[in-house]
Amino acid sequence: MHNYTTFSGKEVSDHVYRNLKERVELLLKNNIQPGLAAILVGENPASKIYINMKTKKFHSLGMKTQTFKLSIDCSQTDLIQVIENINNDSSFHGILVQLPLPNHIDSNSIINSIRPEKDVDGFHPVNAGLLSIGTPRFIPCTPKGIMKILEYYKVNLSGKHVVVLGRSNIVGRPMSILTSLKTKGANSTTTICHSGSSNIEKFTKIADIVIVALGAPNYLTKDMIKKDAILIDVGINRVNDNSEKGYKLCGDVFWEEVIEKAKAVTPVPGGVGPMTIAMLVENTVEAAENTLK
């Protein structure tokens, strides 16, 4: 039987929260309670679950969080007005607009209206630019969480070949920048593949680390990887089955297959997911700490 390691995001996020507790306590001593405003437009069930999980975690650490709910048919102007009010409210250090937004609202205009110092998602062009030149202010939560998993399990990317599948501004693009930056634990050769790439397996077969963020269930099979590759699975897909719930959650990596060949894999659920929330908490703490500087 081939031995593989499960890279547990649950374990790494618990480690992160233990370290954050001291930082939050220090801020509270300075009369600063780190605060996050979450904005939810409409009734997306997945977004609601995410916001509930986040709210519990913030409260357990003694941090402040409030969710601003707007109806699905609210105007773009209404949403920008809510953001403006929070931009000017010093009790909130971070602003999170839950994506995806309804089609009649332009996501870029919304992201641009968040003050960069409060953009804890790291999506504002100013923050994306700072990351791309290697001096990040806020690193997007999922890529930052993946780097933390690799660091925790002592995977040094220097000199390694990383293949990133997906080029979204939320995961793939910032991930490709982070892995290739000349920083401790990074410094890899990075290839980014996407829907326009032909013969993706030509690249995945020679990768030391594959990071998959396509949203395609069980996409990465064992034939597509080399022996002892490390696989980071960002996908979370609902696949219908005959269970009581009527569906199961699976990632973009064909788990049952790849464990025969891979050195390490992140599970779904319990892998990258918990890290995304942990990094949102960490970025909010950083935003509060920045007000002391």
Which amino acid is residue 88, in one-letter code?
N
Set 119, 121, 233, 252: catalytic member: 121
**What are the tokens at 282?**
């960490």
Q: How many CA atoms lie within 13 A of 110 on its CB side?
A: 23
Contact residues for 157 (Cβ-Cβ < 8 A; gap 6+): 150, 179, 185, 186, 187, 188, 209
Cα→Cα distances 224→146, 210, 213, 262, Å: 21, 10, 15, 11
Set 98, 118, 148, 252: catalytic member: 98
Specify the DSSP class assigned to residue 30. Answer: T
Cα→Cα distances 42→45, 48, 68, 70, 121, Å: 9, 10, 11, 6, 20
Is 223 an active-site residue?
no
Contact residues for 127 (Cβ-Cβ < 8 A; gap 6+): 116, 119, 136, 137, 138
Is 76 an active-site residue?
no
**What are the tokens at 288?**
């509060």
E runs forming strands in the chain? 5-6, 35-41, 64-70, 94-97, 161-165, 189-193, 209-212, 230-233, 237-240, 247-250, 264-265
Q: How many CA atoms lie within 13 A of 199 on its CB side?
A: 4
Residues marked as catalytic: 54, 98, 121
